[in-house]
Structure 1
Amino acid sequence: MAPHAPKVVAPDYKNIPHSHRLPVTDRDVVRTFSKLSRASLISLAQQWLAKKNRDFCRPFLAPEEDENDGQEGDDEEMYEPARSHEELLDIYKDLAQRKGGRKEVMDRILEGDWRSGVSMYQLATAEIQHMLDHPTALRWTAKRLAKIPSKETMIQDMEVTNDSEHLPRFQAQTFMTNLARELTPLMKAHYLITRIKTMPITILRVYIHDSPYSTEASLATDSAHSSDSTKSVLFIWPNGSPFVWVSLATHLGQVVGDDSRHLRDIVTQAIPKAFSRSSSRYQLQNTNFTARSLSVLLAYRGPGKSNAAAGGWSIFADASLSQNTLDFITTSKSDAKDKITHANSGAPASKPGPGRPKRVIEETEAPEVKRRKEIAQGRFGSSAKPDDGHGLDRFEVRIDDAFPKIANAGHRAHQDMANASAADASSSQARRGRPSLLDRSAEEQAEVSASNDNDDIWTPDVRFTFSGTHVFAGVRQLVEAGVVDGEKMPGWMTGEVGVTIGVVKYGRIRTKGKVPGV
């Protein structure tokens, strides 16, 4: 008898469904589950055992046979399989009520109840749960969804000037269908979109599978031979906001290769196409804002934050004023409180009862210190406080102002400047690695060269990088300490522009378009 011909698997144009499983020894599975806490693992297991998720989160259950059959096999198993979903759900409820270790729950999930494999839906929900448990674990880049102007659809009404009011409506099913239509000819991917109840955001996770096949065997083979690079991309839409946050799902020490960045760019370019229609085309514009904390993104690029309202202008954005903003009068509430405090301190202290009277703590703050704090309050407003939860960890600027001319400078000084400029150019050309966002483009270099030749000036390549847990809170403390002159300090040092990277010229951040940083 002739042997059977091997089964031929042809490439297809299907997406990876939720029910496709990865082996429990897969690198992505072990890495993701090992970062979750005990409470998160139990919560996820209960979520997977819900009736609406049982079709693509099937656990390993005991077969419906006689109890006498297979007793020897049950004795050898570390975790006895449950008979039904309800029984397994009760087990995890008992685990939630008693104390224990995280590894106990993780081993039961991977080696016991889901020993046959973890589905793509389970891996996606575990990754999103880790992101919510650690809101500062990833680095996010904010982009703005803007409408592409067209001459055919140009509105003649001059009263309509805000393009963000004409953004498309976010309908999840239609959007996912259009996105899959754009990406299916280029790659295989698994999609999961969910709305978070605890935060006003919607999360989209795309697991990129760089293979022409969408079978479980191809997933396992690709994962076994892949390098230590990320495969998933996360997108967040704040409710009622024209911004989209983009991030590669990585952890500390994980390599982000060029292939992963290229696949992420492909998905990012497909996002506005999925929103576009024949009469309305959209694009993603860079806002020059990058942060790690989700609370920071909600504060700067969240609902109602399409404009810059930081620094001293934050008093108009946080609803701390009880008066009309247009009829604003510079009367500080702190002055009234100080007067009340001084009035109370001048009154004689009454004895509450037998014993010594309470001593009134005299104010020992020097007038200079009080003056610096008032200046910091005026420059920063209600923002840039260490405990406000809106800390930016990095802020980079490039200074494009010309070097000031020196009186009685001769030809030698001019020659030294020219040599220094040439040295800066050669050092920038010899710089290795990925190009920085602060590097001058060809147009900017031509503009700088033309201004230097015409005005006989020199524009050096000066860059400043502020890093820390809360950059602008640190600058505010320096103003209060007298290290930085709060009266002469430029506005971009207060964070009022609302960007994390920019170019300063004539004391202001250069902008392109209507939004700072765009």
Structure 2
Amino acid sequence: MAPRAQLSIPSTESLPHAFRLPANNREVVRTMNKLARKTLIDLALFWLRKKNRQFAPAYLYSDHDPDFDEVDAPYDPAHDYEELHDIYKEFATRKGGKRDVVDRILEGDWRSGVSLFQLATAEIQHLVDHSNALRWNAKRIAKIESTKPRPQNIEVTNTSEHLPRFHGQTFLLNLRREVSPLLKAHYYLGRVDGWPITILRVYVHDSPYATEASLKTAPEARGTSDSSKAVFFVFPDGSPYVYVSLSTHFGQTVGPEARQLRDILLQAVPKALSRPSNRYELQNTNLSARDLNTLLKFRGPGRTNAAAGGWSIFAENSFSQSALDYAIAQRLKGKDTEQSKSKSQTDTGKENTTPPPKPTASRGRPKRKISVSEAPSPAAKRQKEVAEGRFGVSGTVDDGLAMERFEVRIDDPFPGSEGDAVGQAASAAGSDGSGANIQNAQVSKRTRKGRQSLLDKSLEDIDATDPDGSSIQNSESWVPDVRVAFQGAHVFAGIRELVEQGVVDGEKMPGWMTGEAGVSVGAVKEGRVRTKGGVPGV
């Protein structure tokens, strides 16, 4: 009697580490080909450790079945894990390309399938080696204030500043409880060596069945769907921010189904961090970047979060003493002045006694003398000093603050649309004693007034707007739709170079062009990027 087929029943369980994907899966092959040879060897040795063997089972000689396995297999199976360990140790000692290592992994030692644990560790290692592989968005963890009155007999201090205590296992249990009824996923939470972050990878599997067979028969395993995608969450140590991956790796497309699944995860993360009487939400900070180092600088645990642009000299401790100690600064300044005077006098006394240098014969090509015309002019020196004062130690290629795109919207009223027109009309009325010019100026001012779209307005502007669309606070001013976008490998390094070359006036340049706002998208009013609650971009 033939055995009965097993039934797949929908459940709320998550996908375990040991579930395997086919070795020819599109995502598995793409991930392995992106890694370097040394990284592949280190990962294979990591999978072969005793504590990881149950999550990354290799294909050994004991699993070989001559009746069902291929006769002309490219690699013979190893007899035990120690033999596999020696094989990959030998790979590390000899030279070669990564193709032989990839083929050995997919067609030899793990030909029966690559587990979800192996795929997760491989993708995280790729992020460590290439910190700009994904695009990230910084979210702020903010506490939701309760509308219920607090008891008077309980003393609570600084409740608005309290952040949730992050515990990995508890957070994963809460996240599974929120997400499992809606979708199936695999979770991998771990630390990254050398970085002050905890990274969470969620492999979304759009299926009601939490079985290994569903992974092999899913449409995405055959390359016909994009519903299974990995979403990354980075939790920096001692920082009230979370970094969320906005895009997948280069070459992958994200459809509407994958976006909906990511929205579900994004809504579940603050719920998993919450507890009774302490509810949290994720607020947008208007900062998105491709490099993780940039996010750690602007929204990380260090001291550089609010010290970009010219203020970076204080965060980097570029002074030999405290910048606030005025007495020490004046005393050191006086000593420097005396030393410079004594040195100049000594040089003057030795000017006539020093014999001229003797000409020496040099082999090879003589050095080219710098002419007076090639020397930097005083204007060029002045421009570099202005750029150094405005940008500080930031705005360089190797400052770790690379931002690929920076876009702002100018919300200031058009110059002369309100005050200048009324002032000119008033002066004209005072000269001839009639009020006709005032009426004409007011009519021309009303004809120039435009209507701003609600899609481009902030929440404060929408609250201060009449139902007919006219603004209450500043109804007589016209605000043109002016947007400025900078794009490049390092936007602020490029702006600093333009200041040094004299293309941009560094003295009249607004502060948000130096990157001191710490946002990638913002609205500028009265020369500053709008903030809410003292946090830039929120």
| 3-state SS of 2:523 partner | strand
- Whether the aligned pair in 1 keeps the contact of 2:464 and 2:473 (CA below 8 Å) is no
| 3-state SS of 2:535 partner | coil
Q: Which residue of 2 aligns with 1:119?
A: 115
Match for 1:22: what amino acid? L
Q: Which residue of 1 aligns with 2:95?
A: 99
Deviation at 1:389, TM superposition (A): 2.5
Matched, 1:379 2:390: yes
Q: Which residue of 2 aligns with 1:495?
A: 515
Point out where structure 2 has 5 or more consecutive residues left out of the alignment.
425-439
- Whether the aligned pair in 2 keeps the contact of 1:74 and 1:80 (CA below 8 Å) is no
Judged with a 3 Å threshold, the aligned counterparts in structure 2 of structure 1 residues 455 and 267 are, in CA distance, closer, same or farther, namely closer
Deviation at 1:233, TM superposition (A): 0.4
| 3-state SS of 2:217 partner | helix
Deviation at 1:327, TM superposition (A): 2.7
Q: Which residue of 2 aligns with 1:224?
A: 221
Match for 2:388: what amino acid? Q
Match for 1:444: what amino acid? D
CA distance in 2, matches of 1:198, 1:160: 35
CA distance in 2, matches of 1:4, 1:62: 27
Match for 2:377: what amino acid? A
* 1:173-222 Cα deviation digits (max 9, x unpaired): 11111111111111111000010112111110000111110111111122
CA distance in 2, matches of 1:356, 1:350: 18
Match for 2:85: what amino acid? L
Judged with a 3 Å threshold, the aligned counterparts in structure 2 of structure 1 residues 454 and 220 are, in CA distance, closer, same or farther, namely same
* 1:290-326 Cα deviation digits (max 9, x unpaired): 1111111111111135841111111111122232243
Structure 2 residue corresponding to 1:252, chosen from 247, 250, 258: 250
- Whether the aligned pair in 1 keeps the contact of 2:77 and 2:108 (CA below 8 Å) is yes
CA distance in 2, matches of 1:96, 1:203: 28
CA distance in 2, matches of 1:350, 1:242: 67
The answer to which of 484-493 and 442-451 deviates more is 442-451
Identity of aligned residues (%): 54
Q: Which residue of 2 aligns with 1:29?
A: 28
CA distance in 1, matches of 2:306, 2:370: 41
Structure 1 residue corresponding to 2:461, chosen from 438, 444, 447: 444
Q: Which residue of 2 aligns with 1:404?
A: 415
Aligned residue-pair number: 497
TM-score, normalised via structure 2 length: 0.82
Deviation at 1:254, TM superposition (A): 1.7
Match for 1:234: what amino acid? F
| 3-state SS of 1:326 partner | coil
Deviation at 1:236, TM superposition (A): 0.7
CA distance in 1, matches of 2:152, 2:270: 21
Q: Which residue of 1 aligns with 2:300?
A: 302
| 3-state SS of 2:35 partner | coil
Deviation at 1:414, TM superposition (A): 5.4
CA distance in 1, matches of 2:9, 2:482: 56
Structure (1 or 2) with the larger CA radius of gyration: 2
CA distance in 2, matches of 1:79, 1:373: 62
Judged with a 3 Å threshold, the aligned counterparts in structure 2 of structure 1 residues 116 and 263 are, in CA distance, closer, same or farther, namely same
- Whether the aligned pair in 2 keeps the contact of 1:120 and 1:190 (CA below 8 Å) is yes
- Whether the aligned pair in 2 keeps the contact of 1:451 and 1:457 (CA below 8 Å) is no
- Whether the aligned pair in 2 keeps the contact of 1:307 and 1:515 (CA below 8 Å) is no
Structure 1 residue corresponding to 2:271, chosen from 270, 273, 277: 273
Q: CA RMSD in A?
A: 3.7
Match for 2:266: what amino acid? T
- Whether the aligned pair in 2 keeps the contact of 1:16 and 1:189 (CA below 8 Å) is yes
* 1:270-303 Cα deviation digits (max 9, x unpaired): 1121121113222211111111111111111111
Q: Which residue of 1 aligns with 2:435?
A: none
Matched, 1:355 2:360: yes
Structure 1 residue corresponding to 2:203, chosen from 203, 207, 213: 207
The answer to which of 7-16 and 96-105 deviates more is 7-16
Match for 1:278: what amino acid? P
Match for 2:461: what amino acid? E
Judged with a 3 Å threshold, the aligned counterparts in structure 2 of structure 1 residues 502 and 345 are, in CA distance, closer, same or farther, namely farther
Matched, 1:324 2:322: yes
TM-score, normalised via structure 1 length: 0.85
User: 5 Å matches for 1:70-219?
Assistant: 76-150=72-146, 151-152=148-149, 163-164=160-161, 166-219=162-215
User: 5 Å matches for 1:45-56?
Assistant: 45-56=44-55
Matched, 1:468 2:485: no
Judged with a 3 Å threshold, the aligned counterparts in structure 2 of structure 1 residues 32 and 153 are, in CA distance, closer, same or farther, namely farther
Judged with a 3 Å threshold, the aligned counterparts in structure 2 of structure 1 residues 129 and 205 are, in CA distance, closer, same or farther, namely same
Judged with a 3 Å threshold, the aligned counterparts in structure 2 of structure 1 residues 411 and 278 are, in CA distance, closer, same or farther, namely closer
Point out where structure 1 has 5 or more consecutive residues left out of the alignment.
429-434
The answer to which of 91-100 and 490-499 deviates more is 490-499
The answer to which of 203-212 and 282-291 deviates more is 282-291
User: 5 Å matches for 1:363-374?
Assistant: 364-374=375-385
CA distance in 1, matches of 2:151, 2:457: 34
Match for 1:167: what amino acid? L
CA distance in 2, matches of 1:450, 1:467: 34
Judged with a 3 Å threshold, the aligned counterparts in structure 2 of structure 1 residues 200 and 413 are, in CA distance, closer, same or farther, namely same
* 1:431-489 Cα deviation digits (max 9, x unpaired): xxxx8xxx335763574753489643211111111111111111112222222222221
- Whether the aligned pair in 2 keeps the contact of 1:491 and 1:508 (CA below 8 Å) is yes
Match for 2:235: what amino acid? W
Q: Which residue of 2 aligns with 1:432?
A: none
Deviation at 1:387, TM superposition (A): 2.2
CA distance in 1, matches of 2:164, 2:43: 33
